[in-house]
Structure 1
Amino acid sequence: MTELLVEFTLQLAVILLVAKIFGELFERMGQSSVLGELIAGMVIGPYALGSINLPFFGKLFPIAEQVGGHVSALPVSPELYIFAQIGAVILLFLVGLETDAKMFIKYGLKALGVAIGGVVLPFFLGAWGTVMFGFAESMFDGPAMFMGAIMVATSVGITARVLSDIYKLDTSEGVSILAAAVIDDVLGILVLALVLSMGSGEGGVSWAQLGLIGAKAVGFIGVVFILGLLFAKKLSRLLLKLQGKTYVALAAALCFLIAALAEEFGLAMIIGAYLTGVILSVTELGHELEEKLVWVAHIIVPVFFAVMGMLVNFQAMLSALAFGLVITLFAIVGKIIGCGLPALFSGFNFLGSLRIGFGMLPRGEVALIVAGVGLAAGVINQEIFGVSIMMTIITTLMAPLILVPLFKINKPGLRQAAEQAAAPQTVVEPAFTWNAGENTLDLYQENLVLVLKAADYNVVEEEGGRLVELMHNEDKGKYITLKREDKKLAVDCSQSALDDVNLAAVNAQNKAVALVSSFANPGTV
């Protein structure tokens, strides 16, 4: 036991060291740190440097060939994989806390169309491609059906981290992607159940069982939301009466409880964690948790992405290269068109639809888990499993590379917002200015954005804190721009937003001045 503990601790140390260095390097190159952490895992994983025998230590990341009495579909140890999943749970809990719950509900119907499109087209392309390359005789054969199921998967964790890094979680596209990913998880469970049922020796599909699985998943989400609406604010007030260290621990316990229940009801744990965060996001407790848990996430979450990179088997990827490249192309087209077209017809413009399509692109650990089920059941062989890994890693790496530039384009993703933005409107420039030191301005600007968000404004563009653009969620003619330069904050806005700016400026200034005064006079309250 001691030897196992030492090995696990050493592995965590190496993963954190390399993952954070790679993440920092990629951030300096203008990319998301997720990309660096994934590549770090590929470099030090069991299929690369991790397989080298080191003096005194041996192989740092040996391939885990067995888990208990069963052959493992994952190359890392169960302990490391479980720790990584805890990182994913914390990540999605934080993502939920950062999500605008009102927008989540508002874009739920749009997300349903996006999720359905992201299931139907990728499934068809995956099954058809498997038949085309001779790995199955028909689209209803086990291997073809399983490849379709693998193509359906969406890993919300990777996209969520990218959106969080660039402050786009609460945009219309960001919320739609996350809502669609939750629905996609339910549909993916049904697809997997259907494939397993057809692949079994019983020769038929148990529609009653499929209906039961779907009812359990949808029912769980519904019950969690209803309980959240009824008790979230009461729970918030109760926990905030306790010390910070206590209410953070209890909230985390609630997150883990709902995550575990989600898994029991056929959903992924990360979906349960995300729902918990969304429910608490409307409470004062949610804002407190967001500030306190972010440092925990900086330690645990990089392990999750590094471990995902470690799952890449380069040899298996190369054994069926042509098939893998075509399936990868189908996987990209399937999500971009399958999710992008419904988004285009539900109020998003071309840019917004592209953002949603690429946001639903990464397969991540979800596809690997589905592929592992197929391999363990003997439905797919090592070649198809290798192709699944190739498709997974390429789509997972593509998402951060393309999403970041798409969101840097300073244009709204909603068709109505774009049309209103293009229409000639009276602009008050500047509506308000404030001169102060950089630290005071940082504090004031942060408070101003929070006050405007409370007034139903949403951040649509942010460039390193020097330029922040906000737009009203309902009245798209109301938009506000915050500009920082030479120890001055200037606020421009449309004529219709002028009253909101004046009120928000007073409230934010009072908060900032009060806080600065408390720093200068620690004895005052």
Structure 2
Amino acid sequence: MRLVLAIVLGIPVILSATTYGGNGAEVHTHDLMTLLMIQLGIIIFASRVGGALFTRFRLPSVLGEIFAGVCIGPHMLGGVPLLGFHNGLFPLSSSNGIPVSPELYGLATVASIILLFMAGLGTDLKMFLRFSLAGSVIGIGSALIAFSAGAGIAAFFLNLPITAPLPLFLGVVSTATSVDITVRILSENKKLDTPEGATIIAGAVVDDIFSIVLLAMITGYAVLEGVHVSSQWFHVGIIGIRAVFVWIFFTVLGLLFSEKIALFLKKSKSIDTIAILSFGLALILAGVFERAGLAMIIGAYIMGLTLSKTDLSLSIQDKLQSLEHFFDPIFFTTIGMFVNVFSFLSPTILLFGIVFSLGGIIAKLVGCSIPSYFLNFTHLGAARISFGMIPRGEVGLIFAGLGLSTGILTQDTFAVSVMMAVSSTVVGPVVLERLLRKDKKGTRHDIVLVEKVQVRFHCSSSDLADLVERNVIDAYSSEGFYVTRLESDHGTYHFQKEDSLITLYRDGVEMIFETPVDDESYVRNILYETMADLSSLVNTVKKLVRPEEMKKEFAQTAQRVKFNLGHVFRPELIEMDLRSDTKEGILRELVHILTLNGYIVDEAGALKVVWDREHAVSTGMENGVALPHGRFSGVNELTSVIGFHREGVDFNSMDGKPAHVFVLTLVPSEVQAPYVQFLAAIASALNGPQRVATLLEKKTKIEVLDFLKECNDDSREK
């Protein structure tokens, strides 16, 4: 912590003493790049802190990132003069009405392209087409009502005609829908494949298409302000027709040639290269759309939509996640910097923001719930769809940022737009999550999106399940499937090839394959071949490996092990006098100690994993030491308890002698923990009969800890 503070506090001093040589242009460029690097570092830390803070209160992390941007932005802390930074770390810029530097805004623009490209990749076209009618009605209905309400409220508060560019643009901001935030909520609740989930996605896509076309038209209309009215509307009509034509042309072209584009990308063989090249195509198409007078984000979305119907979509998303995770906070934090909180000191602007936000939320509720109710959805289903369509999120912020950068929005109206986007992003997900928890259907009649079946395979232990899982993944990969592991759910995999999409879930030791009916026999055959290969492998291992001999070699080899045992053992986890006289009884006593001290809850489950390990090969070593252990999902870190039995207990030790010292260890099933290194450190510390005898002479727990530390230090120094 001292080092971090020294670095942070020392940066201004170092930079204030730094001089740059060369001509003026070189000095200026060098200064700009230096400041940009420092700004990026601060943004990364600030966004993570803000995101973590809001997540703790069960709010979307994106709101925390925006809040961080508000705090460190040029209108607040970023504009405070510091030593070496006379205008602050984030000086207020006047370039094209954008409050941040062009360099930082450029990175935020790249981030917005990544966002929309990934959103396009995540669009399920089959699902969209299946619910295109319901989604189109709901999407267009909600967009029209939200646009009218937003423009009307803006015209009233700004005292402008409703046909003026500013109210119309605020109406466009009000129509936006953030499908990414809603998809995240649906995915976490496993409701993506429900009728409500499919309708929300289809409606959001139609809503965003409608919004983007309106965005192009209103932006063009604002540029033509002051031109004769008839000429204005003629040019606006041309812009609208061009926007629709370009959208349809490139969308149809992309979908028609999507497989050929995928084949071209596959020539590189490496999925990493494929992902990078696909993003390159998104950047190119974004530039083409910008040159055509449309927004870059439209081109990025279309490129994502084009690749979404190929078997590369999930793999590209997986490979670009790190890039998205890096740039996303930069975008949202930079957007937060646009907000001038002092604008809300004006009662009029504050009231405007509150009414505009409420109007936007109510408009979406009305625009979605009424048509939903007449399209086979119950009141609950209509409510789920309505609240799923409420969040404006990053799309609303992108629209607002575009309005500010083009000069259509003022700082005050931009702040109002951000308030609406943020408030809707808070209300929508919170209510939607509660509605999804209700175990009731959202439709009057059952609807099956895709007829699927589940193939279940039960493994006897988590270790076997891990082994089968790895081999199944290898089998699908060798069959030409693209394998993607869901980051939000570490036990879920997607296997995708052409039109086949198979999902593997893990439920403890049970493996569940969810597959279309047509692929059921293929899944069972893959599973059969995998088990046959594993059976052959086990027979080979039995011929080559003799566990008892390996255990004896391990016990007899004293070696230098870098592991601090003092970080594991605690006084409450030491039992000086075990009473049981059987192996099973000793294990029960030790596990019960962990339960009594609050380290585990599922005592029976912990005992089972340790006992299963004992059945495989006894953990009784030499010289009276036993090291029972096992992987257990009920602990979050390596946990160990030590006990002593003066008379000794038969533990099937390799030297045939009773065991006196028992070290029972549990390690997490999923989280990485150095338990093999820990076992080696224990074996090394207690290597030799003299050390064990000395340990048994100790009378108190503190003496035991001190002696173990001494033995551990000796073994680490060998």
Q: TM-score, normalised by structure 1?
A: 0.76
Task: Say which SS state the counterpart of residue 507 (structure 2) adopts.
Answer: strand
Aligned residue runs from structure 1 range 160-175, under 5 A: 171-172=197-198, 173-175=200-202
How far residue 329 of structure 1 moved from its aligned partner, in angstroms, is 1.0
Deviates more, 1:123-132 or 1:307-316: 123-132
How far residue 443 of structure 1 moved from its aligned partner, in angstroms, is 5.2
Aligned to 1:369: 402
Q: Distance in 2 between matches of 1:281 and 1:515?
A: 35
Are 1:91 and 1:157, in contact at CA under 8 Å, matched by a contact in 2? no
1:240 alignment partner AA? K
Corresponding residue to 1:504 among 523, 526, 532? 523
1:294 to 1:300, Cα distance in 2 relative to 1, 3 A:
same
1:90 alignment partner AA? I
Task: Say which SS state the counterpart of residue 242 (structure 1) adopts.
Answer: coil
Q: Do residues 274 (structure 1) and 306 (structure 2) align? A: no
How far residue 96 of structure 1 moved from its aligned partner, in angstroms, is 2.4
Corresponding residue to 1:285 among 312, 317, 331? 312
Q: Do residues 223 (structure 1) and 223 (structure 2) align? A: no
How far residue 359 of structure 1 moved from its aligned partner, in angstroms, is 4.1
Superimposed CA distance per residue, residues 228-279 of structure 1 (whole angstroms, 9 cap, x where no aligned partner): 2333222322322225354333222211111222333444322222221222
Corresponding residue to 1:300 among 327, 330, 336? 327
Greater relative contact order (Cα 8 A, min sep 6): structure 1 or 2? 1
1:126 alignment partner AA? G
Q: Do residues 45 (structure 1) and 68 (structure 2) align? A: no
Aligned to 2:507: 484
Corresponding residue to 1:238 among 255, 264, 267? 264
1:88 to 1:384, Cα distance in 2 relative to 1, 3 A:
closer
Corresponding residue to 1:181 among 199, 208, 213? 208
Q: Distance in 2 between matches of 1:492 and 1:243?
A: 28
Q: Distance in 2 between matches of 1:517 and 1:90?
A: 46
How far residue 501 of structure 1 moved from its aligned partner, in angstroms, is 5.5
Aligned residue runs from structure 1 range 54-203, under 5 A: 54-58=82-86, 59-64=88-93, 66-67=94-95, 70=96, 72=97, 74-133=98-157, 135-136=158-159, 138-140=161-163, 144-154=167-177, 171-172=197-198, 173-194=200-221, 199-203=225-229
Question: Which structure's residues are more often helix, by fraction?
Answer: 1
How far residue 157 of structure 1 moved from its aligned partner, in angstroms, is 6.3
Corresponding residue to 1:249 among 273, 276, 300? 276
Corresponding residue to 1:395 among 398, 407, 424? 424
1:196 to 1:446, Cα distance in 2 relative to 1, 3 A:
farther
Aligned length: 481
Are 1:91 and 1:297, in contact at CA under 8 Å, matched by a contact in 2? yes
Q: Do residues 36 (structure 1) and 80 (structure 2) align? A: no
Are 2:390 and 2:428, in contact at CA under 8 Å, matched by a contact in 1? yes
How far residue 44 of structure 1 moved from its aligned partner, in angstroms, is 1.8
Are 1:371 and 1:388, in contact at CA under 8 Å, matched by a contact in 2? no
Name stretches of at least 5 consecutive residues in structure 2 with no aligned partner: 1-28, 482-486, 494-502, 542-718
RMSD of Structure 2 on Structure 1 (CA): 4.4
Name stretches of at least 5 consecutive residues in structure 1 with no aligned partner: 422-427, 455-461, 469-479
Superimposed CA distance per residue, residues 334-357 of structure 1 (whole angstroms, 9 cap, x where no aligned partner): 223224434444455324422442
How far residue 162 of structure 1 moved from its aligned partner, in angstroms, is 6.5
Superimposed CA distance per residue, residues 125-172 of structure 1 (whole angstroms, 9 cap, x where no aligned partner): 234334544x31654456544543443445566656766777777741
Q: TM-score, normalised by structure 2?
A: 0.57
Aligned residue runs from structure 1 range 334-345, under 5 A: 334-345=363-374
2:424 alignment partner AA? T
Corresponding residue to 1:12 among 21, 40, 62? 40
How far residue 46 of structure 1 moved from its aligned partner, in angstroms, is 1.9
Aligned to 1:476: none
Q: Distance in 1 between matches of 2:64 and 2:71?
A: 10
Q: Distance in 2 between matches of 1:336 and 1:129?
A: 17
Deviates more, 1:199-208 or 1:319-328: 199-208
Task: Say which SS state the counterpart of residue 274 (structure 2) adopts.
Answer: helix
1:488 to 1:250, Cα distance in 2 relative to 1, 3 A:
closer
Q: Distance in 2 between matches of 1:264 and 1:337?
A: 37
Deviates more, 1:74-83 or 1:499-508: 499-508
Are 1:160 and 1:169, in contact at CA under 8 Å, matched by a contact in 2? yes
1:294 to 1:55, Cα distance in 2 relative to 1, 3 A:
same
Are 2:176 and 2:208, in contact at CA under 8 Å, matched by a contact in 1? no
Aligned residue runs from structure 1 range 373-384, under 5 A: 373=406, 376=407, 383-384=412-413
Aligned residue runs from structure 1 range 287-366, under 5 A: 287-319=314-346, 320-348=349-377, 349-359=381-391, 363-366=396-399
Task: Say which SS state the counterpart of residue 118 (structure 1) adopts.
Answer: helix
Q: Distance in 1 between matches of 2:260 and 2:514?
A: 39
1:284 to 1:151, Cα distance in 2 relative to 1, 3 A:
closer
Superimposed CA distance per residue, residues 38-82 of structure 1 (whole angstroms, 9 cap, x where no aligned partner): 222222222232222333344111221x21xx4x1x221121112
Superimposed CA distance per residue, residues 190-211 of structure 1 (whole angstroms, 9 cap, x where no aligned partner): 34545665x5352346443233
Are 1:76 and 1:311, in contact at CA under 8 Å, matched by a contact in 2? yes
Aligned to 2:597: none
Q: Distance in 2 between matches of 1:464 and 1:506?
A: 26
How far residue 298 of structure 1 moved from its aligned partner, in angstroms, is 1.7
1:4 to 1:167, Cα distance in 2 relative to 1, 3 A:
farther
Are 2:73 and 2:337, in contact at CA under 8 Å, matched by a contact in 1? yes
Q: Percent identity?
A: 30
Superimposed CA distance per residue, residues 364-412 of structure 1 (whole angstroms, 9 cap, x where no aligned partner): 1203423554xx36xx766445433433443345455445555555556
Q: Distance in 1 between matches of 2:205 and 2:279?
A: 21
1:221 alignment partner AA? W
Are 1:139 and 1:145, in contact at CA under 8 Å, matched by a contact in 2? yes
1:326 alignment partner AA? V
1:144 to 1:278, Cα distance in 2 relative to 1, 3 A:
closer
Q: Distance in 1 between matches of 2:325 and 2:437?
A: 24
1:447 to 1:45, Cα distance in 2 relative to 1, 3 A:
farther
How far residue 285 of structure 1 moved from its aligned partner, in angstroms, is 3.4
Task: Say which SS state the counterpart of residue 63 (structure 1) adopts.
Answer: coil
Task: Say which SS state the counterpart of residue 370 (structure 1) adopts.
Answer: helix
1:429 to 1:109, Cα distance in 2 relative to 1, 3 A:
closer
Superimposed CA distance per residue, residues 442-495 of structure 1 (whole angstroms, 9 cap, x where no aligned partner): 658989999xxx9xxxxxxx9956799xxxxxxxxxxx996713x2346799xx
2:90 alignment partner AA? F
